[in-house]
Amino acid sequence: MITNKLKNYVLPCAIALFSFTSVHAQNKATAATEGKINQIIKKMTLAEKIAMLHGNALFSSEGVKRLGIPELTCDDGPLGVREEVLRFDWKSAKWTTDSATFFPNGSAIAATWNPALANKFGVAMGEEANARKKIVMLAPAFNICRMPLCGRTYEYYSEDPFLNAQLAIQSVKGIQSQHVAACVKHFAVNNQETQRNSINAVVDQRALREIYLPAFKASIQQGGAYTIMSAYNKVNGYWCSENDFLLNKILKQEWGFKGAVMSDWGGTHTSVNAAKAGLDIEMGSSGPYDEWYFANPLLAAVKAGKVSENVINDKVHRILWVMFHTSMSANHPAGKMNTPAHSKTVYDIASESIVLLKNEKHLLPLNTTSIKSIAVIGDNATHKFSLGGFGAGVKARYEVTALAGLKSRLGNSVDIQFAQGYKPDYQTTYTDQQKEDANKPNQALIDQAVATAKGTDAAILFVGSNRDYESEGQDRKSLILPFGEQQLINAVTAVNPNTIVVVIGGAPYDLNEIKKANHTIVFSWFNGSEGGNALADVLIGKVNPSGKLPFTFPASLGDSPAFALNTYPGENGTANYKEGILVGYRWFDTKKIDPLYCFGYGLSYTDFAYSGFSTNKKVYNKSEEITARLKLKNIGKYAGKETVQLYISKVNSAVLKPEKELKAFKKIWVEAGKEAVVSMALNVKDLAYYNDKTDKWVVEPGQYKIMAGSSSRDIRAVGSINVQ
Ligand code: GLC
């Protein structure tokens, strides 16, 4: 029993003393680091400083050997530490010690709606980066999913800036907990792969501030990201690698970024402009390195007085600051590769990422007492997803496929027969005609699959895409399921009514026909080394699916804003983001367009009832915090997790506002039949919109609707609050 004196006096003093000493200690450490950095810079020659500002090989930039400063080594990518490549060539270094853990892709992590798992991902990948002696991991990548065909949607997280930010913060914190620098990318407004090296994204200030920048701001101010990668494209007429507004004004001055900005590979365009606009390190693919913009030409520019040495010193300071937090930090962990804990992290993410889209026939979870034979059909049942996608490829130490996962769970009790069903005959280098031909059904394989499915109690189709079909450097041409899969689905479901369709991909697909036919649908992802085990455990009911879509699945491409306004891929090299802030569900809800599946959608094997929704107050001033609470009851027979989403909508706003905006969410486990209290908090200032006339964040006074939902379109409770 804590006496009142202890609780009201001693404890607060102890906490205050602890926090004062720890802040004081932190400040002392910062001052000490600053002192060391400034001492080092004083000893460096101009040539040594310049050498630090550009690549000296594919994945490194110079240190200062004579002063004990190591090279800055970096590596890809968002799905794991890529295999070692040659120092001066993208070819594999053919190591035997660089197999790594293949982590679930970005949109899979997003589909978990579980920032704690994003943190676990970061910790595990940081440990593997240390084991490979990488100081900077070129991850996480979280450009907003503005356009559903973007080839890198699978690497990114979401269409919503708030969900993006929560995942970015935690991924960065996880990676950097291991004294490895995260490199958040691609800064900024890099939302298509078509003409990615040249497109000029024209975006208004409000959309920039409310949609495209928040996750980057959060990853730096709340995640503490040590480095950031400037994107290939232009924003409002200026290359991202020399965009003074983005790099100096917003990133370094307004957000207080202390770390280093590195360019995307080959994404630097000048010496003087880029140096003055805030780029710190020029990275690229091939030498001669001394001829790069930030090498001899920059040295000459400094000597000619075009760039002051103070500008160079600031860049060196930033790079050394990153090093003192990483390779030159005290107690720098040695790291470890491919541990059971890493595999567990992959499994946990994968199993929470899988989205149950439709289960009206209750074919799931599989009834393994009555089902004695299963036809497993589709190349994606045996396909491996770790390699591909340029820098996002991983030489996985192992990868459990869907078929292997099912066999490991059911192999002794159920007769499993496999049929390939379709050939994923696709190469990024194919001509458009070859790509079109690749989407024709393979009748022989379909006939074989039908013959297999005719004779089994159930059939599970594994369709969707793969890491060649979704990749950096290209956008998809349509939402259709590739490789003639729809014809396969129609043929198999015609002969076996107990067919489950599992779509594996990293982005939205056209599932209209499958949905209309009322088939059972599961959406899974490029789900890492344990992907097949997690998928099997969801299908047999060992795991109750809890994934929710991190982006809208349009019913048709023309419904999505970039196509509705004909701004993709842009004209004469300019993509005009005419939809402004109405990205994703903000567009569909405000324009009252029904999507195929909405943002935040995902079913469970159980059901949840929402009740008792309330807020801590009815009227708030602008500096207060809003707490929303509700009771969540599991009214089904399976324990499971629900992600309660909190949306806000301004009543009679004086300016254009989306119909609703996500402002908080909470994922919570509830046993069958039990009830839990869910509490979510947000600040009134989080309701602000960006007034691009005054360049200020403004909280409109007046009435707001506050909504709790199981998805953006399944609102279960509505409240009203007033802001004075
Ligand atoms: C690429 C990508 C970037 C990657 C870099 C190094 O072009 O855009 O994400 O980290 O080059 O591979």
Mean pLDDT of the chain: 96
- Choose which residue among 138, 156, 228 to substitute to test ligand 1 binding: the one with the highest number of ligand atoms within 8 A of its C-beta: 138
**Å from CA of 273 to ligand 1 middle:** 22
Structure tokens at 591: 């324009």
Nearest atom in ligand 1 to the alpha carbon of residue 77 is 10
CA distances from 319 to 63, 219, 260 (A): 10, 18, 6
The domain 606-723: what is its CATH number?
2.60.40.10
The three-state DSSP-derived secondary structure of 41-100 is HHHCCHHHHHHCCEEEECCEECCEHHHCECCEEEECCCCCCCCCEECCEEEECCCCCCCE
pLDDT at residue 707 above 70?
A: yes
Give pairs for 514-519: CB < 8 Å, separation 24+. 514/486, 514/489, 515/357, 515/358, 515/596, 517/490, 517/493, 518/358, 518/360, 518/361, 519/358, 519/489, 519/493
For residues 105-134, average pLDDT: 98
Contact yes or no for 488/446 (Cβ under 8 A): yes
**pLDDT-above-90 percentage for the chain:** 94
Q: Which of 240, 390, 428, 471 to mutate to test the pocket of ligand 1 (most atoms within 8 A of CB)?
A: 390
CA of 695 to the centre of ligand 1 (A): 33
Q: What is the pLDDT of residue 6?
A: 62
- What pLDDT was estimated at residue 4? 65
Q: How far is CA 324 from CA 34, 75, 258, 259, 303, in A?
A: 10, 19, 12, 11, 29
* Residue nearest atom 11 in ligand 1 by C-alpha distance: 265
Confirm whether 432 is a catalytic residue: no
pLDDT at position 69 over 80: yes
Instruction: Report whether 101 contacts 397 (CB < 8 A).
Output: yes
- How far is residue 286 from each of residues 75, 87, 313, 473, measured CA to CA in Å? 16, 10, 26, 18
Among 58, 76, 81, 142, say which to mutate for ligand 1: greatest number of ligand atoms within 8 Å of CB.
Answer: 76
Q: Amino acid identity of 133? A: K
pLDDT at residue number 1: 47
Rounded Cα gap, residues 640 and 546, in angstroms? 7
Q: Which residue's alpha carbon is at the smallest distance from atom 4 of ligand 1?
A: 391
Q: How far is the CA of 390 from the centre of ligand 1 (A)?
A: 8
CA distances from 481 to 50, 376, 389, 512, 523 (A): 50, 18, 19, 11, 13
Look up residue 291 and give its DSSP letter. Answer: G
pLDDT digit string, tens, across residues 229-255: 999 999 999 999 999 999 999 999 999
**Is 54 within 8 Å of 289 (Cβ atoms)?**
yes
Q: Measured in angstroms, how far is the CA atom of residue 142 from the centroid of ligand 1?
A: 13
- Tokens matching residue 67: 């002063």
When pLDDT is averaged across residues 266-290 and rounded to a whole number, the result is 97
Distances 53 to 38, 225, 319 between C-alpha atoms, Å: 17, 19, 8
From 189, 194, 197, 264, the mutation candidate for ligand 1 (largest count of ligand atoms within 8 A of CB) is 264
323 Cα: distance to centroid of ligand 1 (angstroms): 21
Residue nearest atom 1 in ligand 1 by C-alpha distance: 265
Angle, nearest 10°, between helix axes 340-353 and 531-539? 50
Burial degree of 380 (CB within 10 A; 0-12, 13-18, 19+): buried
Among the options 76, 98, 160, 264, which is catalytic?
264
Which two structure tokens, joined as six digits, stand for 312?
Answer: 């160079």
In ligand 1, which atom is closest to the CA atom of 390? 12
Each domain of the chain, given as residue ranges in start order, spans 340-551, 606-723
pLDDT over 80 at 423, yes or no: yes
* 125-149 average pLDDT score: 98
Please tell me the distance between residue 283's alpha carbon and the centre of ligand 1 in angstroms: 10
pTM: 0.96
Q: How confident is the model at residue 28 (pLDDT cuts 50, 70, 90)?
A: confident
What pLDDT sits at residue 429?
85
Q: Name the closest-CA residue to atom 3, ligand 1.
A: 264
| Ligand 1 atom at minimum distance from 138 CA | 10
Structure tokens at 63: 């240190």
Question: So what's the pLDDT on residue 345?
Answer: 98
Q: How far is the CA of 217 from the centre of ligand 1 (A)?
A: 21
Tokens 């676990």 label which residue?
120
Strand-pairing partners, residue 459, are 375, 499
* Ligand 1 proximal residues by C-beta, below 6 Å: 76-77, 138, 185, 264-265, 390-391, 472
pLDDT in tens, 520-533: 999 999 999 999 99
Residue 146 has pLDDT above 90, yes or no: yes
Task: Please give the average per-residue pLDDT across 79-96, as a whole number.
Answer: 97
Of all residues in the chain, what percent carry a pLDDT higher than 70?
98
Pick the range with the lowest mean pLDDT from 9-18, 508-517, 711-720: 9-18
Tell me what pLDDT residue 7 has. Answer: 64
**What's the pLDDT band for 421 if we cut at 50, 70, 90?**
very high
- Evaluate if residue 542 carries a pLDDT over 70: yes
**55, β-bridge pairs:** 61
Homologous superfamily in CATH for domain 340-551: Glycoside hydrolase family 3 C-terminal domain (3.40.50.1700)
Taking the CA of residue 196 as reference, the ligand 1 atom at the shortest distance is 8
171 alpha carbon to ligand 1 midpoint, in Å? 18
* Position in ligand 1 atom list of the atom nearest CA 76: 10
Q: CA-CA distances (angstroms) from residue 247 to 61, 262, 403, 452?
A: 20, 11, 47, 58
**Atom 8 of ligand 1, nearest CA residue:** 264
pLDDT attached to residue 30:
85
Per-residue pLDDT at 2 exceeds 70:
no
Atom of ligand 1 nearest to the CA of 59: 6
